[in-house]
Amino acid sequence: MTPPRQPYQNRMEILQGTLDMLILQILQWGPSHGYALSKAIRTNSGERLKADTGSLYPAMHRLERKGWIDAEWKDSELGPRLRVYRLTKSGRKQLVSERSRWVQITTAIAGIMNPAKRGSES
């Protein structure tokens, strides 16, 4: 017997290529570990977005390799050490450029999806 399917209506897939930006954005508020990051994405999107761990951890390791985020081990009261990530200087710069690209894309898409508005803007 197959398990009942999760209700989908309130969950959206994270748009391709935006996960990196989301991670950087969240880390801007302060250092965080992987679980907290995934929770932050969920809660801050009003439970609409969910970052799959299978994408989240690879993404964080990729960002670390690129030097945009740093990681260090912190002891926790719960037992296992936690790997805590923080934004680096170049990560901050990267976030700025990703954000401006995001704005461009959304404006462009909005322009297409809502052509009436376009006339009044020009």
Are the C-beta atoms of residues 52 and 44 closer than 8 Å to each other? no
Q: Which of 18, 33, 45, 70 binds another protein (CB under 8 A)?
A: 33
3-state SS string for 8-69 = CCCCECCCCCCHHHHHHHHHHCCCEEHHHHHHHHHHHCCCCECCCHHHHHHHHHHHHHCCCE
**Listed ranges 17-25, 34-42, 98-106, 107-115: which one lies at the site for another protein (CB under 8 A):** 34-42
Which residues ranging from 43 to 102 are in contact with another protein (CB under 8 A)? 52-55, 57-58, 61-62, 65, 76, 78-83
Cβ proximity to another protein, 39 vs 118, nearer residue: 39
7 binds another protein (CB under 8 A): no
Alpha carbon distance 61, 72 (integer Å): 12
In the complex, the residues that contact another protein under the rule CB under 8 A are 33-36, 38-39, 52-55, 57-58, 61-62, 65, 76, 78-83
